[in-house]
Amino acid sequence: MEPLTLLIIVACIGLGGLLVGLGVHFVPVGGAPAAMAQATGIGTGTTMLAASSGFLGLISAGLVTAEITNGKISYPGFTNAVDSQTLLSISGITSNIGAIAIIIAAGVIGAMLMISILCVVPNVLYIFGLGVPLASAKVKFDPLTGDRQDIYVTRGTEGHGTPSVAVISSLIGGLLAGIGGALTYLALLAGGFSIATAAFAAIGIFFVNSVLASYNIAGTIEGFHDPKFKRWPRAFVGCLIASVVLGIWAAAIMFLGA
């Protein structure tokens, strides 16, 4: 394999991991307190929330890849480029840009669908099962809709449910995590990994970055309007280093295998 192609693969894995790490910061995570209607966000852990959305993106991206390979949608040259491991060379990228774009788009749409359902279905339960309005205690007014928040928060809690601003923030998170997951999968596939190995390695890289980001968040976050969001530069550095190291390992396996 060309050294430049290997370099592009490392860059794609690095960028993919970085986007996952940043995306996690946008997802409104409430953890255990959210499950008691004691904090704003979704009532589960940061890592698994990001992983759940990214995984649907990965499944969608894999499905679209299969549709291209079996000729259901026509992107000529993609299968050959994957087989000859030239998909991520300069000429491979320019001639297959349509296929690469649709695979990444599939990842994004899958991740956004999952995260929107993960936000909205619990909201149905908060409103009709618990009888509480959706409110955040971190801001006085919702930055997007302008709705008053503080008077809708139960005394002694830090909010409950996922209000509109947090839902929109989660969609941005899904977008970034979807691009990251699909890009990593594509880079591994382009380097000659089999579909199963590429999927598994992409899951691993996804987990590494979402766990790193979770350590940075430490507990709960509501989205881009949360003061904790300002911590993102630390995750940027951490995830970049971790992903590039993983990318170099992946490239080494590809280089030795070829």
Partner 1 sequence: MEDLALNLGTLALMGACATIAGAAEDLESDFGSQSNANSQVQLAPQVGYLHRIYNKAICGEPVAYGLLAATGSAIALALATAFSLNIVISLALGATIAALMYGVYATTAYMGRITGQKRFGQPVYLDVLLITTPSIIAHAFIATISIATFSYLLSAIIGQPFPFPILALLWGVMTGGMGSAVGDVHYGAERQYQAKPFGMGLPIASSGKIIQKGEVGLRCSTDIAGFCVKHGGPLTGLGLGLTVFIDLWRHIIFINVANGWGAMIMGLFIVVLIVAFNRGIEIWARKNYGPYKKAED
Q: Which of residues 152-191 bind partner 1 (CB under 8 A)?
A: 152-160, 162-164, 167-168, 171
Q: Near partner 1 by CB under 8 A, which window of 14-22, 36-44, 83-91, 220-228?
A: 36-44
State the minimum distance, in angstroms, from the CB of residue 46 to partner 1.
11
CA-to-CA dists, residue 69 to 1, 82, 156, angstroms: 22, 10, 56
Q: Does 134 bind partner 1 (CB under 8 A)?
A: yes
Among 8, 10, 19, 75, binds partner 1 (CB under 8 A): 75
Q: Answer yes or no whether residue 148 interacts with partner 1 by CB under 8 A.
A: yes
Q: Positive or negative, the Cα torsion across 25, 103, 85, 207?
A: positive
Least CB distance from residue 88 to partner 1, whole Å? Answer: 19
Q: Which of 172, 147, 169, 149 is nearest to 160 (CA)?
A: 149
Pick the stretch among 85-93, 100-108, 216-224, 237-245 that binds partner 1 (CB under 8 A).
100-108
24 binds partner 1 (CB under 8 A): no
Q: Is 78 in the site for partner 1 (CB under 8 A)?
A: no
| CA distance readout (Å), 227 to 116, 186, 231 | 23, 34, 8
Q: What angle do CA 204, 219, 135 make, to 5 degrees?
A: 120
Residue with tokens 């591994």, as numbered in its chain: 188
Minimum Å distance from CB 202 to partner 1? Answer: 10
Per-residue exposure over 71-93, b if at least 16 CB sit within 10 Å of its own CB, e if not? eeeebeebbebbeebbbbbeebb
Nearer to partner 1, 14 or 173 (CB): 173
Selected range binding partner 1 among 86-94, 123-131, 228-236, 245-253, rule: CB under 8 A: 123-131
Specify whether the CB–CB gap between 213 and 21 falls below 8 A.
yes
Q: Which of 8, 9, 49, 190 binds partner 1 (CB under 8 A)?
A: 49
